[in-house]
């Protein structure tokens, strides 16, 4: 059984697809009523990697600084997902950012067993770097328009 964290980790370590890492955990975080602060922290970590790879060092460092501020609040959930929180805190101070996640031993063993079965990416490096440009934003735009209409009706 694949959990959102397993998907995130395989995408992170096998494909370096930080944009998709964000998407996987964003969906799980939203489905859980935005309660899992561990997911929120890992989303922010993927965002920092995405910014760094695109050369937006200010954005990457801002994401890391915000994550460092929230790490204590997310520690319990991160540990529950198999993250070694002490190692994660140290990784947040490293530059460049590490390309693997600091997992506890059982989670690391599970990931290593799954890596050979994970499909290779078909994306080019340019597509990974600029993935946000290539995505279909129609559902997001439609949801924003729907919410705007709902707010207008509520004011009437």
Confidence at 11, pLDDT banded by 50, 70, 90? very high
pLDDT at residue number 146: 77
Q: What is the pLDDT of residues 103-112, one digit of tens each?
A: 999 999 999 9
What's 33-68 look like in SS3?
CCCCHHHHHHHHHHHHHHHHHCCCHHHHHHHHHHHH
Q: What is the pLDDT of residues 110-149, one digit of tens each?
A: 999 999 998 887 777 677 666 666 666 566 556 667 777 8
pLDDT at residue number 127: 72
Other Cβ atoms within 10 Å of 16 Cβ, number: 19
Q: Which of 94, 15, 107, 6 is nearest to 48 (CA)?
A: 94
CA distance 118 to 130: 22
CA distance 78 to 41: 8
């Amino acid at each position: 059984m694949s959990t959102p964290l397993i998907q995130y980790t395989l995408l992170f370590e096998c494909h370096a697809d930080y944009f998709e890492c964000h998407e996987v955990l964003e969906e799980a975080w939203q489905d859980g009523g935005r309660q899992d602060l561990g997911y929120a922290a890992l989303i922010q970590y993927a965002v920092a990697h995405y910014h760094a790879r695109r050369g937006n060092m200010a954005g990457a460092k801002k994401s890391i600084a915000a994550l460092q501020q929230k790490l204590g609040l997310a520690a319990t959930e991160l540990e529950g997902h198999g993250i070694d929180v002490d190692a994660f805190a140290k990784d947040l101070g490293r530059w460049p950012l590490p390309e693997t996640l600091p997992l506890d031993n059982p989670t690391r063993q599970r990931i290593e067993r799954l890596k050979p079965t994970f499909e290779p990416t078909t994306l080019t490096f340019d597509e990974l770097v600029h993935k946000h440009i290539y995505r279909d934003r129609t559902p997001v735009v439609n949801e924003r328009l729907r919410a705007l209409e709902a707010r207008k009706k509520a004011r009437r």
